[in-house]
Structure 1
Amino acid sequence: MNTMPRIDPRKAKDLLQIIKGKAGIYTPEWKYERSAMDGGAALAELFAQMFGETIDRLNRMPYKNYLEFLNILEVSAQSVTPAAGLAVFRLVEGSQRSVVINRGTQLYYDRGQEEREEGSARVIFETTKDFYATPAKLMGFYSINPRQDIIEKLDFEEGSVTFFNPSGARNIQRHAFALASQDVLKLVSPADITLSLENTALSYLNEEYLARLANPGFARWSYYDGKAQIPFDQVKVKDGQLHLLKDNHTPLRPYVLEGDSPEEENFWITCTMQSDGQRDEILMDRIAMGSAYLHRDQPGVHIKPDLLYSNDLALDEEQGGYCFGTQLMPYQCFYMASEEVFSKRRARINIEFALNMVTRQVGDANSVYQYNFYRKYVVEKVDIPAPVPDRIVVSRVVWEYWNGAGWTHLKVEGDVNPFQGGEGSFKKRISFQCPEDIVKNSQNSVEGYWIRARVVEVENAFSMYAHLLLPYLEAVSLDFTYGETLKAAEKIYTENNCVKALSAPGTFATFKLYEPLREKVHGVYCAFDQQPNGFPITMYFKIEGQSKAKSLLKIEYLTQDIKGEGVWHELKFTDTTEGLTEDGIISVYAPRDFKKDTLFGQEGYWLRIGEGNLNYAERPTIQPLVQKVIPNVVEIIQKETIRGELFRTDSYEPNKTITLRNRPVLECELWVNEIRDISQAEMAYLRENKANSVEVHYDQGGHLQEFWVKWDPCETLINAGDNSRHYKLDQNTGRISFGNGLNGKVPSPAEEGNIKVNYAFGGGKKGNLQEGTIEGLLIGIPHVDQVTNLEMTSGGSDGHDLKTLEKVGPCKLRHQGRAVTAADYESLVLGQFAEVKDVKCVGNYDAFGQPAWGYVTLVVLPAHIENRMYSLKLCRKIEQSLKQRVSCELLAGGRFSVVPAIVMKVNVMVTVSLEDYDRAAEAERDIREALKRYLNQGMSGGQSFKIEEIPSLRSFYMLLNPLRNVARIQEIILEGRYYEGSTLRVIPLDGEFNLRYVVVTSGEHTVKIL
């Protein structure tokens, strides 16, 4: 752009005015009139036009001299830069082996018709490294904190996760075991549950185990009431057994535990444990249980039966009733049902009857015939004695229970016949061991556990004159106890370290009731479905924000020792994430001897990412936020490599030039075959000292045939010596220039091609592609199903424009290739890196924007700032370039850094009133679009903000006021969102703030219409 002052500001119209004025003096008879065109007027017009062009050329002379001045300074536009990005390789489903992807593997994208230019219809990308694409899929990530006994399964679908700081709120670690028994644990009334837990092999530890399980700080015992787990009222150890006391009438409810048959519900008691710092396991191989009514030693009614029947007549449990009705006869039955008590197989059951013997008279004395066989008188002379009434009582009963096939004898002890007694109230007790084969049956249409007393004999059943003694039941009290006869647990469920196990009946094993976290390393454990072997395999880590502290990672894999047990071995790897502080790829060199194992309930092949210096473990505020982890990712660059392009040199060609077939050139490696004029001594010297710069070829007879020497590029040949192997490359034109024998060596002559060039070409903005645009491999690779770019490819530029060269060119005189002032730093970067949009040098501030005396920080705004990985790579590239130009004191003290600008999204909340509310939707859309155009970098019509340039509130009023249908802007509120390390910050922008290194971009905007 020409900004030079004009030598002569006159235009053609000014010259015509001069001619018109002079004509009145020199030729008064002729007058110049444009409307009356004659020969004189035509001549004047022609002269003014031609002389005006001469003036224009004269005015361009300063600008041309300025450009020539820049050429003398050797100011030239930097070559195009290639776009770079990431490609992800996906293998065919079902592949079992890793696939080698060589460096330089080419990928392509066919441009659309509207994008095509001559010779550039297809855009080629190449991979930058060798790697193995593995078919192994990531099945899960587990973040482990062994100190706090926390296991968190990381879920990237829910958002970013903290890698080394597992959350206690999402802790899936659980230490628990549960015991099931359909008989022992069918409880409603207050009960004492007895647990016998033994380790026969380590019996000396039983006392310690029981003490830990009775410690409320370690173990919490509970049962399920149908809604939630209810803790037991008391847990204690007595006589080498654990006693769980339940002092309420809340029933235990059966439920289906995880892993059990869904059709089978069981009664469970659960022990939930938490880490107590001890590393000892709790192992048991004999687990038995029993239960007893808690208050069986106290007087009073203990457990009431569920139902009482006299034959088929139900008895009221509160008011009582006649056990056998009002007539006594054989085969009458008295039934009792209790779901809680009579289900306790093998338990000792006690029943106490509170009876009242009701007496009724049958017949009278007159109805009794008396015969005296010992007297001989026909008529007695004495009074006849009154007859004594008989006693009609139940003299014998049989107790029975239902065994599934029929009623069978129940052996009872104590008052076997409690229904035989004297008149009045009395109590009788019976006791029996609940049979193993008792089952439910339906009695009087009611299903339950039933026992009965069946009348076998009635004494004086047919007496004409008797007292009928009817047993009247006033109350029945039941209780039970297993005593020493404990039953083995029917099912045992254990859960430790996310490993769940359910043991079926009859399983004889040692049960790990409590197992501390086996893994003692704080880190993240990655599970694969196959062995992720390869040299190397790659994993891409997308990081949110940036951590202030770099960490030294340590990667291990799970293999097995000579005993077949799992052991962790360290792996070699390369890390471009700087310890998970930025986006990058971790390349792991993984062998083929992974061990398949189950950790945290997940079976697979395992990698462990640990932290060597425990920065993240001890300082949770600097934890990295990881957005996603993707395997089989490699860096790609938009270029195409040509190898072995040959050129020939005639006899002694000084100042020889060759032009490569493809341009612009991104990389170049030039070899010259010097077999014809190189000495044996120089050959030996080059082989010994510069082996990497020499290639030697022999014929079939073993004779030296070709001796290729690698030449080095340089910016100018002026300072090259007569024997210097240097060449000058113009990357834009592909032209290579050699020396003349004085300034640079002349290539050796040859009859055939003796100059071999390996180079890569490409670059430009055409390589900046959206995510998923790359279509696939240029040449297919077996087992590779799909390849595409994982994210937007960024960094492609077409080189410097003339405006930039005019700005930075003269600065070469000032900085002379050295960075001293802030302007020197900025000029060096802008002149060397065309992909940099803006740069700012800040003194006395460190890389994190904190005041630091003597520090120099260079803040860079790339053209594609949304791609953070590209921005960080560009900053490292700039820093490496400037290390030869800045003060060694800054470098030695670590006080020089290059960082990308902090992206701050500006959210605008606008409250407006409108002129026409029927067009409110259109007005809202116009306001949003205006805000986006104003804030977005590089968007057509938008303003490009510089680093640390924050738009003022006034500028938004000026932006929105002229919009159609906006009557008045009531209020505008600005807020900025940015990441400080890995923490998202929100700040108001209405006033002043001192945040450094920020560049604004459009965020989310809210429009409120009043």
Structure 2
Amino acid sequence: MVTVTDFIPECDGRKYDDIIKEIKYLAEKYTPEWKFSPDNPDAGTALACVFAHRMSETIERFNKMPLNHKRQFYNMLGASALPAVPASGYILFNLNGINESNSFIEKGFKLFSPAIDEQGTRLIYETQQSALITTAKIKEIIYADCNADLLCFCKNSEEKFEPSYSSSCNKRLISFRHDLFDNFNKNCRFYIIISGSESDKWMERLSDPLYAEFSQYLDEHETRIDCFKEGSRIRIGLTSDCDGININILNINEFHMLPFGDLYITSEGNDLAPDSILINEEFENKNHFYAFGESPSVYDNMYIESNAVFSKKGAVITLNFNLGFDEIDNGEIPEPVIPNKLFVRKKSIHRITRSIITVENVVWEYWNGYGFTPLKELNCFENIFSGVSEYESKVKTASYKLTFVCPSDISPVLIGADLRLCIRARIKRIKNAYALPSRFYVPWLENISISYKYDKPLKVTDIKTINNCEENMVIPVYPFKKLPSSSLYIGFDRPLYQGPFTLLICCGNFIENGLSNASWSYLTDIGWESLEISKENTSLTSEGFFSFNIPYKLIRSNIFGKTAYWIKAENSECQEISIEKILLNCVPVMQCESIESFCSDPVVETIKLDHKNIIELQIYINTSKRNEEEKWECLSHGWTLDNAEGLIKFSPKISLNPNSRTIKLKYCCGGGKAGNLSAGQTFVPAISDGLISSAVNPFSFQGGTDRESNFNAEKRLSYEFRHQNRPVTKKDYEDLLIDDDVILIEIKSTINGGMNIKATVSSELINKDVIKKRIYSKLSGILPIDMGEIRVKVVYRNE
């Protein structure tokens, strides 16, 4: 048969054998030179055994104390069972967006949960502060760390955001393009020059691969290229056609606040082979060919194509080739006519000789988009293909260099089926074109090559710089700067005005080490203005909840290349962070109900409230005189409250207003494990303004406990009275840290004098972080100053 005394907690559960084991353990630690052996006792062991026997008898007598005596003893000391504790958490409000109107929620706003208590009624939760629920959404999140030069972005505020150097999006570059990059040829060379007071530093650092990296881009494809310094220029090694060049800055310390002048570019190429040679629109061998074919005629053309060279407008172009002539006879020489005489003088015999045909005159031309235009600089070479005076007796080969400036209006011309950049030589006149018989001195060319260079470099106008992801289409004096500070930027899709607005930032080390010391500000048309945190939240919690008012409207601005309405938290000590969520319109709530009632009994001794589990109580008495407006004064003494039963007892010495014995009671009730709800529950507002579309708890509600049972209270109080809340042994620590949620505590000491604590909790609905904080809270103030590191690990029962 089980009796009541079976459930009386023992003051001390140690028996004789337990005391002997503890003496043996302490003897090995404190007096290792003494061998404690109860089986073969010496004088010291005998005394220790006598002590253990008498101590076990004393403990046994204390444990036999009647239950009522023990309870009376506790009551004399003012001890009582712990009351029920209400669960708390956060509610995320969403608006339906009608007319883009905001909704104001006052402190104490009631919401009904889907959970039902023991009486079959829905649990009531109340907001713990006022908030303006806005239709604005978080559009951008940026984390900047000036110490690590880290810049990371996140668009979804409800996704995990872990900025790291590997995910850094910070970008600093000079990007430019120029027409010189068109029609690439691997034998062309490209150079850039930077002007300004610090041009030498720019040239040295840009050519150093540790400080800068060059790449060429085509469409969305980017390819790294080499560069090196040649004299006062940097040569860039293009490898193919490209749209432009990017210069990525790798080390901001070398370019921070370094003044920049202008960027210039130049190009040159020597002995480039033409792309093709066309004679009357037919391709010829580029190594050796007849300039106008084997039988030139008036208006025949010779096209010299080179897209790489003739696209360099304004460059000085030199055309090199060897020129020679072949003799080609046309027609047979008829026999001479001899007179029919016996004797004929030689002079009277008429002999027919061959006429000399040469290309007497040509014109050098280019296509300007509308027609062929003469290259006036080559007018002096219009007779180059005649060769009459030099070659009537003997044909010789000669080398020529034709120099001209590439026209600014040169354009591709359609030859056959393709557009080609070229110049041409066109025959204007042929000497003795139709004579027969004749000898044609047909010109031929070989070893043709083209060179070009610019007399002075060209200024690059199509240029932009990107510093900290912000683009500048006009290059500033100081194109590159370090990140201004270590800050968390939060951007909204529409402006916030007045308030109070609420924000919940869920991240561990940044909240504890960063936001609590951060200075908050918001961006207006006159710059960053200080953002004051509300007085109720000057000390940020580890969840990072706070509220704020914005007296002036935010402005839409570009920060690090992102456009939004901005607020920021700035702290130079912020480093690595891990953000779980950032939630706007998130309001703290507690499982409680605020009630106001009146009592008009003529004699006040006790008042039984309509509800139990009272969390907070305020009593007011009417101090107004007759026919005066009511004046209520808070009564702070002269009464006691039994929280669990909701019973108020007044002192006999309390004096009430004889004109009005009405007492006003304001109290808040609630609590219990039933309020610990899992995340994702939908709540129903008690009063709706038609603007709130949903109210959901993004995280589980925690902290709700039922009223402590007498058994647990006596067990706890026995421990507290025995050690005065000062743990000594391992079991003392375990007794201190265990509670209804924590079902098992395992403690191991470490080499450095600290301890590793493993706590097993009863349900997966319990938040591990809440248990950790609870354990650290219980340990605070009772550990020695020189205690080593304390590590706490929380696991679920099935892990």
TM-score, scaled to structure 2: 0.78
CA distance in 2, matches of 1:158, 1:709: 45
Given the superposition, is the C-alpha separation of residues 312 and 65 from structure 1 closer, same or farther in structure 2, using an over 3 Å criterion?
closer
CA distance in 1, matches of 2:592, 2:158: 37
Which of 84, 91, 107 aligns to 2:111? It is 107
Which moved further from structure 2: 76-85 or 332-341?
Answer: 76-85
Contact 2:215 2:225 in 1 (8 A): yes
CA distance in 1, matches of 2:666, 2:758: 35
1:392 is matched with 357
Render the CA deviation track for 1:701-760: whole Å, top value 9, x for unaligned: xx686463413xxxxxxxxxxxxx332222232221223x3xxx3453757552221111
CA distance in 2, matches of 1:196, 1:69: 94
1:730 is matched with 642
CA distance in 2, matches of 1:699, 1:277: 83
1:566 matches 2:527: yes
CA distance in 1, matches of 2:338, 2:149: 94
CA distance in 1, matches of 2:631, 2:157: 60
Which of 79, 84, 88 aligns to 1:84? It is 88
Which of 236, 245, 249 aligns to 1:273? It is 249
Given the superposition, is the C-alpha separation of residues 611 and 437 from structure 1 closer, same or farther in structure 2, using an over 3 Å criterion?
closer
Aligned-partner residue type, residue 249 of structure 2: M
Contact 2:757 2:793 in 1 (8 A): no
Contact 2:337 2:350 in 1 (8 A): no
Secondary structure of 1:276's match?
A: helix
Which of 209, 220, 223 aligns to 2:213? It is 220
Which of 365, 376, 386 aligns to 1:411? It is 376
CA distance in 2, matches of 1:69, 1:234: 91
Residues 969-1008 of structure 1 aligned to structure 2 (within 5 Å): 1001-1002=798-799
Contact 2:756 2:792 in 1 (8 A): no
Secondary structure of 2:674's match?
A: helix
Contact 2:503 2:583 in 1 (8 A): yes
Which of 286, 302, 305 aligns to 1:317? It is 286
Contact 2:143 2:488 in 1 (8 A): yes
Residue 125 of structure 1 deviates from its aligned partner by 0.2
Which of 222, 227, 235 aligns to 1:244? It is 235
CA RMSD of aligned residues (A): 4.3
Contact 2:158 2:583 in 1 (8 A): no
Structure 2 unmatched ranges of 5 or more: 8-62
CA distance in 2, matches of 1:747, 1:575: 35
CA distance in 2, matches of 1:557, 1:550: 15
Residues 873-912 of structure 1 aligned to structure 2 (within 5 Å): 874=774, 902-904=793-795
Residues 369-768 of structure 1 aligned to structure 2 (within 5 Å): 380=345, 389-413=354-378, 415-421=381-387, 422=391, 423-484=395-456, 489=460, 491-501=462-472, 510-512=474-476, 515-517=479-481, 519-534=483-498, 536-543=500-507, 552-559=516-523, 566-567=527-528, 569=530, 571-572=532-533, 582-611=542-571, 614=573, 616-617=574-575, 623-643=576-596, 645-650=597-602, 656-673=605-622, 675=623, 697=624, 706=631, 708-711=633-636, 725-739=637-651, 741=652, 745-748=653-656, 750=658, 752-768=660-676
Contact 2:338 2:350 in 1 (8 A): no
CA distance in 1, matches of 2:227, 2:719: 85
1:133 is matched with 133
Secondary structure of 2:321's match?
A: strand
1:292 matches 2:268: yes
CA distance in 2, matches of 1:738, 1:640: 24
CA distance in 2, matches of 1:214, 1:856: 54
Which moved further from structure 2: 392-401 or 436-445?
Answer: 436-445
Render the CA deviation track for 1:109-148: whole Å, top value 9, x for unaligned: 244xxx5643x42211011223343443222222223344
Secondary structure of 1:451's match?
A: strand
Secondary structure of 1:871's match?
A: helix
Residue 565 of structure 1 deviates from its aligned partner by 5.5
Render the CA deviation track for 1:48-102: whole Å, top value 9, x for unaligned: xxxxxxxxxxxxxx99963574356337543322221111122343776765432
User: Size of the alignment, in residue pairs?
Assistant: 727
Secondary structure of 1:520's match?
A: coil
Render the CA deviation track for 1:8-63: whole Å, top value 9, x for unaligned: xxxxxxxxxxxxxxxxxxxxxxxxxxxxxxxxxxxxxxxxxxxxxxxxxxxxxx99
2:24 is matched with none
Contact 1:345 1:436 in 2 (8 A): yes
Secondary structure of 1:512's match?
A: coil
Given the superposition, is the C-alpha separation of residues 662 and 573 from structure 1 closer, same or farther in structure 2, using an over 3 Å criterion?
closer
Residue 542 of structure 1 deviates from its aligned partner by 2.3
Aligned-partner residue type, residue 610 of structure 2: R
Residue 404 of structure 1 deviates from its aligned partner by 2.9
Secondary structure of 2:71's match?
A: helix
Given the superposition, is the C-alpha separation of residues 835 and 107 from structure 1 closer, same or farther in structure 2, using an over 3 Å criterion?
farther
CA distance in 2, matches of 1:519, 1:95: 40
Aligned-partner residue type, residue 398 of structure 2: F
CA distance in 1, matches of 2:617, 2:778: 21
Contact 1:528 1:605 in 2 (8 A): yes
Residue 190 of structure 1 deviates from its aligned partner by 2.3
1:146 is matched with 146
Aligned-partner residue type, residue 165 of structure 2: G
Aligned-partner residue type, residue 566 of structure 2: W
CA distance in 1, matches of 2:660, 2:401: 122
Secondary structure of 1:424's match?
A: coil
CA distance in 1, matches of 2:6, 2:98: 73
Q: What percent identity do the matched residue pairs reach?
A: 20
